[in-house]
Amino acid sequence: MLQKNILSVAKETISNEARAIEELISLIDEEFAQAVEHIYKSTGRVVITGIGKSAIIATKIVATLNSTGTPAIFMHAADAIHGDLGTIQEDDTVICISKSGNTPEIKVLVPFIKNFKNTLIAITANKDSFLGKQSDYVLNAYIEKEACPNNLAPTTSTTAQLVIGDALAVSLLHLRGFSSKDFAKYHPGGALGKKLYLRVSDITKENAKPSVSPETQITEVIVEISEKMLGMTAVIENEKIVGIITDGDLRRMITTNKEFTHLAAKDIMSKHPKVIKNKAMAVDAMEMMEENGISQLLAEEHGKYAGVVHLHNLIKEGII
């Protein structure tokens, strides 16, 4: 019974918040569009402020805006009236987040913002509140009730604020024509950034570059593969890739030939190996490996052998 009750409460919480988010669609109006347009045309930053749980939501919206091309900064409403008002610069737009719009800190802060003549945007569930009436634009984040059974703990209201913030950020992203290349510029770290900017050439230049000619004797081929430690070697003729020999090719050779020292690379190499352009994205190399069930790819640049990208490289870089 305990588990059933837990699941029932959890599902009801999600349903409550899902309904509230759905209802926000009808609250997105011309005033929302005007606020977005104002930020888009502004030469200043977006300063976002709030108190309590709304302040936490503000920090997330700031992070989303910064990562999608809109400069933003967080200012805690309580700290603002104790010195942090200096955060606000002349051309900045201020977004104030408050469910009630009537908290004491907000009532103290708002007049100072108005005195600075900065544009004030409210995200509130109460358009008729002090904050709503003092703001230049009001983004309506109205909810019927919190998911909290006592209708007290900020739950559904903060979810609504977050969704309004996302809608704001994505609208600005579209206006700016923010591309995946721009996204990569703001996300250089971690697997996400690497998927957007890491190229095959970034990997091949760090790897050994095993190569033999078609006439290279098998004993030398084995030495080349062992020394370069990539489990393979390219077979090169006139700087062009004509084949590949892998550890698997060597194992098959040993099982089918009792005597193999007389063989050359051309006798056991796989012709027409999978090749990728050195300037291609590393994520494209990953997809090619997955599609063909292989763990190495040869890279070429201007039709010439450029190096090797190995599955282990992609794992190390966090692409996989």
CATH code (residue 254): 3.10.580.10
Same domain, 146 and 254: no
**Does residue 234 sit in helix, strand or coil?**
strand
Same domain, 131 and 208: no
Residue 308 pLDDT > 90, yes or no? yes
Q: Tokens 């009792």 map to which residue?
A: 258
Whole-number mean pLDDT of the chain? 93
Residue 185 pLDDT > 80, yes or no? no
Total domains in the chain come to 2
Neighbouring-strand partners of residue 271: 243
Per-residue pLDDT tens digits for 7-62: 999 999 999 999 999 999 999 999 999 999 999 999 999 999 999 999 999 999 99
Same domain, 30 and 168: yes
Domain with 245, as residue range(s), is 197-316
Same domain, 203 and 172: no
**179 pLDDT tier (thresholds 50, 70, 90):** confident
The pLDDT value given to residue 197: 78
Residue 187 pLDDT > 90, yes or no? no
| Alpha carbon distance 135, 120 (integer Å) | 5
Cβ contact 73:62 at 8 Å: yes
285 in a structural domain: yes
Same domain, 122 and 236: no
Q: State in Å, rounded, how far the first CA of the chain is from the last one.
A: 42
DSSP at 44: S
189 in a structural domain: no
57 in a structural domain: yes
Same domain, 162 and 55: yes
Same domain, 29 and 147: yes
100 in a structural domain: yes
Same domain, 109 and 220: no
Number of Cβ within a 10 Å radius of residue 238:
7
Residue 130 pLDDT > 80, yes or no? yes
67 in a structural domain: yes
CA contacts within 13 A on the Cβ side of 76: 7
Same domain, 26 and 172: yes
| pTM of the entire predicted model | 0.69
Same domain, 55 and 89: yes
Q: Which of 129, 145, 178 is the last residue of a domain?
A: 178
Same domain, 53 and 130: yes
38 in a structural domain: yes
Neighbouring-strand partners of residue 217: 264
**Does residue 150 sit in helix, strand or coil?**
coil
Q: Which of 178, 206, 228 is the last residue of a domain?
A: 178
183 in a structural domain: no
The pLDDT value given to residue 278: 96
Q: Which of 134, 149, 178 is the last residue of a domain?
A: 178
Q: Identify the CATH number of the domain in which residue 130 sits.
A: 3.40.50.10490
C-alpha distances in angstroms, 222 versus 109, 125, 305?
75, 72, 20
Same domain, 166 and 218: no
Per-residue pLDDT tens digits for 62-91: 999 998 999 999 999 999 988 899 999 999
φ, ψ dihedrals at 6, nearest 5°? -60, -50
Cβ contact 300:236 at 8 Å: no
191 in a structural domain: no
Provide Rg for the chain, Cα atoms.
Answer: 30
The pLDDT value given to residue 320: 72
Token reading at 28: 């997105």
Token reading at 81: 């009236």
